[in-house]
Structure 1
Amino acid sequence: MSVAAESETPAGPALSRFEFVALVAFLMALNAAAIDVVIPALSTIGDAFDIGGSNERQFVITAYVLGFGGAQIIYGPLTDRYGRRPVLFAGLLIYIVGALAAIWSPTFGALLGARLVQGIGAASTRVVATALIRDRFEGAAMASAMSLVMMVFMIMPIVAPNIGALVLAFGDWHGLGLAMALVGIAALIWSVVRLPETLDPADRRPLTGKRVAEAFRIVVTNRQAACFTGAMAAFFGILFAFINQAEQIFTVTYGKGAGFTLYFSLVAVFMAGSSFANSRLAGRFGIRRLSQGALLAFMLLGGLHLVLAIAYGGATPFPLFLVMFILSMCCFGFVPPNLNALAMQPMGHVAGVASAVLGAAQTLVGGILGALVAYLYDGTLIPLLAGFLGLSALSLALIAVAERGRMFRPDV
């Protein structure tokens, strides 16, 4: 745990823990906003570009996720060589350009390209945010800080879809690109003015093929880092499946119309609340027991919901669906922050590359798995819930490998 030389820290008072976590949370929230703000506009975008199949509209989200996930591999070595600040600034500029390009996209393909570019830029924020937290915190303290960051990340699904609906009420989907660009500009200004460089000069790694390959080898051959990363990727596939399918479930399966964003937000409230609870409980109960217990509970709830959905002919009554979904998503806030801390714990000396591998696997693999599950939408809940059950079981199996079968043990 180290802090860079004073000469690399911006002028002005040093960041308090509160502002540091708030800034990192804002960077992470920028990604969630770019995904969630377009959810209410998917039908409008499909109509604007005459996209026949409703499932193809999900590609607006998938294109962003692919750019966001894939580019993290590039940013990781760059952050370990040049520091956190310059890489973040470059990525934010790319993000802003992509958001603005979406406004003037003449075709659906061009829009997907702009979203891909936007995701490539946003990838820097994910890599840098995780590396920043790893630079300053370890163990339960890191999980606690990450939980607060994830709480803000989870608040975005509450705010962003409603912002998107508000923009659509006074204009069309083009305004969403402008809104995302303005958020990116705000993040860039705050980071330039206040963010310190947290990478110790002694920890900078030369940007050579051999040294980069060595760093990647360290990450992927470490059982704990690799297996916890795979577990996170599988679990995030659940989140991406839900995000991709949310509009169809609420508007087609349950016929809730444009007001579905309020129900979407209600689910997100409980996700954010569980992230906050995790930040308070991680040090008391241990990040292993919390994450593994919550994941097991999620899997059992998913299996029960699947059985009920089959019994009701494909979809449970809406009140029961909402209760089951809220209970399941209450488990969500206890899993990613703790698995992230466990994966990063042995990677302090290559935090940038480790953050990149973790983020790329989580987003790229999770995004692809989630997109595959979402694309199977058939008007019922069965494909989604079957995906939930399968992906949570895979995540739990990978954790068992990481722990050598010793589950629910105290943190060491």
Structure 2
Amino acid sequence: MSNLAIPKNKRVIGQRELVALTAFMMSLQALAIDAMLPALDEMARELGVAEGNQRQLVVAVFLLSSGVGALLPGSFADRFGRRSVAMFCITSYALLSLVIALIHDFTLLLVIRALQGVLSAGLMVLPATIIRDRYEGDQMARLLSLVGAVFIVVPVLAPSLGQAVLTFAGWRWIFVVLAAMAGMAGFWAWKRLPETLDPLDRQMIELPVVMRNMTHALLNRSAIGYVLGTSLLIGAVFGYVNSSQQLIGEHFGMGTWFPIVFGGTAAMMVLSNLVNSRIVERFGARRVSHTGVLAFIAVSALQVLAAFRHDGDIVYFLPLMATNLALLGFLGANFGSIAMQPFAHIAGAASSIQSFFRTFGAAVVGLFIGQSYDGTARPFAIALLICSVLALLLVLYSEKGRLFRRLNAPAKPETKPGGVY
């Protein structure tokens, strides 16, 4: 079923344009993280930052503040509408990017980056909310897969964008480019994005109501296993990202080939998301994702075997890692769609709390895995297996012990929490 409860307005947007617009909105967040990676050294020199690790705060502060900020926009979107909150987030992103381009103090830059992360966090939360307003079930999973496929490309290409800007101008122009791209997204959303919130589902902005909605969205049994399972699986991938330079560049001796090897494995997620978008409506999000998590466990077990028997041989590691990342494309969007399915009336709050736990949970897991690197692929391989097995157990909890079910009819809507107008 599609086009659920669309308020009457003059804007009509098709599936393809909706996917492109929401993916563009999400991509702004990825660009704010990865586009300045090639510029960190230049930023540090110009702003007088001597300590090597201190310059990484430009990225870390934005990530952390975005995670915390994810708790806010969903509830506001449930009260004031998706469109108005989206425009606020895009405008804040653009203006603060221009402010950062003018700053000459590193501490002030970090403060503005933190503020930018909080105020623009809705760009990660709202796309799933908007799609949940319009679509449900396997159709929602298909569209989230398409959004994910576009979004995943950005972190791979963003450093090249930053490097291209540095070829012709200084690091400040990277933020000017980000502001310009936000301006494009804002104009597009202003002209074409409809208000998808049903007026009957508007929520009051009162702390008890917000907390009740978020608690309801988080603790719902059919959702929580998928939310925490996603955190573990994405966290395992974050562990790969955190240790990839040491693992691929040093342990496997790829050296200058590291960016190509890393980008090649990451590209597998793009391909699998596109495949998932083609098959999920035919086979169902549950069947596809449950098969995917079982396959992930099997490949991770082979990864452990390879790490202990053929440690240091990239011929064994690389195909297995590429397969793990490809399988993630059959898990992320489908898990997210299943977790959002019960919350038609509080989609904003549900997306906020789920995004927060996915982001922070994955960051913590990834940090732990990255710090466990001991000069071999063994800790990472073991972590992959543990995370995937735990994810399966969490899914079994949400599914009450039964896998591969397909819900042919839409799930019964949840009882509306108090505070609904």
TM-score range, shorter-chain basis? 0.7 to 0.9
Structure 1 residues 82, 377: closer, same or farther in 2, change over 3 A?
A: same
TM-score (norm 1): 0.88
User: Of the candidates 372, 379, 386, which is equivalent to residue 382 of structure 2?
Assistant: 386
Alpha-carbon deviations, 1:257-305, whole Å to 9, x = none? 5664333332232211100111111112221121122122223323322
Task: Indicate which of 227, 237, 246 corresponds to 2:235.
Answer: 237
Give the counterpart of 1:187 among 185, 192, 199. 185
Hey, what does 1:316 align to over in structure 2? 313
How many angstroms apart in 2 are the aligned matches of 1:81 and 1:377?
A: 45
Instruction: Check whether the contact 1:291–1:334 (CA below 8 A) recurs between aligned residues.
Output: yes
> Partner residue of 2:269?
271
Distance 2:246 2:382 in 1: 17
Check if 1:409 corresponds to 2:412: no
- Taking the aligned partners of 2:62 and 2:384, their CA distance within structure 1 comes to 22
Amino acid at match of 1:4: P
2:323 matched to which residue of 1? 327
* Shift, 1:168, TM fit: 4.0
Q: Amino acid of the residue matched to residue 8 of structure 2?
A: A
Distance, in Å, in 1 between the alignment partners of 2:102 and 2:379 is 35
- SS in structure 2 at match of 1:359: helix
Match of 2:135 among 137, 152, 158: 137
Which of the numbers 218, 221, 231 marks the counterpart of 2:219? 221
After TM superposition, the structure 1 = structure 2 runs for residues 51-62 of structure 1, keeping only pairs within 5 Å, are 51-52=51-52, 59-62=57-60
**CA 1:108–1:250 in 2, change beyond 3 Å: closer, same or farther?**
farther
Partner of 2:26: 28
Determine the structure 2 residue equivalent to 1:342.
Answer: 338
1:80 counterpart = 2:78 = yes
SS in 2 for 1:347: coil
Write out per-residue CA displacement over residues 306-357 of structure 1, whole angstroms, 9 at most, x where no aligned residue. Answer: 33234345x432x443322211111011001111111111110111101111
Amino acid of the residue matched to residue 32 of structure 2?
A
Contiguous gaps of at least 5 residues in structure 2: 409-421
Structure with greater proportional helix content: 1
Partner AA of 1:51 in structure 2:
E
Change (3 A) 1:239 1:103: farther
Native 8 Å contact 1:274 1:333 kept in 2 = yes
Partner of 2:92: 94
Q: 1:216 to 1:36 in 2, by over 3 A?
A: same
State the alpha-carbon separation in 2 of the partners of residues 398 and 173 from structure 1: 44
Corresponding letter in the other structure for 1:138: E
Aligned residue number for residue 7 of structure 2: 4
Letter in 1 for 2:299: L
Alpha carbons of 1:35 and 1:373: their partners in 2 closer, same or farther (altered >3 Å)? Answer: farther
Assess, with a 3 A threshold, how the Cα gap between structure 1 residues 325 and 45 changes in structure 2: closer, same or farther. Answer: farther
Equivalent pair of 2:252/2:313 in contact (CA under 8 Å): no
Residues 41, 165 of structure 1: 8 Å contact kept: yes
- Asked if 2 retains the 8 angstrom alpha-carbon contact of 1:40 and 1:247, the reply is no
CA 367–180 in structure 1, closer or farther in 2 if over 3 Å, else same:
farther
Task: Report the AA paired with residue 149 of structure 1.
Answer: V
1:162 and 1:261 in contact (8 A); partners too: no
> Please, what is the CA RMSD of the aligned residues?
2.6
**Identity over aligned pairs, percent:** 33
In the alignment, structure 1 segments of 5+ residues that lack a partner are none
SS at match of 2:13: coil
| AA matched with 2:313 | T
